[in-house]
């Protein structure tokens, strides 16, 4: 099995699989890395799904934000916060020392 995760220190290395187990809903492999036992999720190996060339796009992030806003409307109103910040700055400046 080959490690494919782009940031894993063993990326590109072929490892011998000792065992595989389902953990927390995903397949994890236990491998021998030159005498050291390492565990790797299937997605981080050549046995996982092919990574997308463009995993995140502006459109997908915008769609995700819209969905999240519908599920849980924001409790923080940015315009009210800006107005409040302006008032507190003004009152501090006017009250000065």
**pLDDT value at residue 50:** 76
**pLDDT value at residue 11:** 94
Mean pLDDT to the nearest integer, 32-37: 94
Residue 81 has pLDDT above 80, yes or no: no
Q: What is the dihedral of CA 69, 73, 77, 78, to 10 degrees?
A: -10
Q: pTM for this one?
A: 0.52
Residue 72 has pLDDT above 80, yes or no: no
Residue 20 has pLDDT above 60, yes or no: yes
**pLDDT value at residue 31:** 96
2-11, 35-44, 52-61, 80-89: least confidently modelled range:
80-89
Distance (Å, rounded) from C-alpha 10 to C-alpha 44?
10
């Amino acid at each position: 099995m080959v490690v494919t995760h782009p940031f894993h220190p063993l990326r590109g290395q072929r490892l011998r699989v000792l065992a595989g187990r389902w953990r927390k809903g995903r397949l994890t492999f236990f491998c021998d890395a030159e005498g050291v036992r390492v565990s790797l999720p299937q997605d981080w190996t050549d046995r996982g799904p092919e990574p997308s060339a463009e995993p995140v796009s502006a459109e997908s992030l915008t769609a995700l934000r819209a969905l999240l806003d519908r599920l849980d409307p924001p409790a923080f109103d940015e315009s009210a916060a800006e107005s409040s910040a302006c008032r507190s700055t003004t009152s501090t400046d006017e009250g000065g020392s």
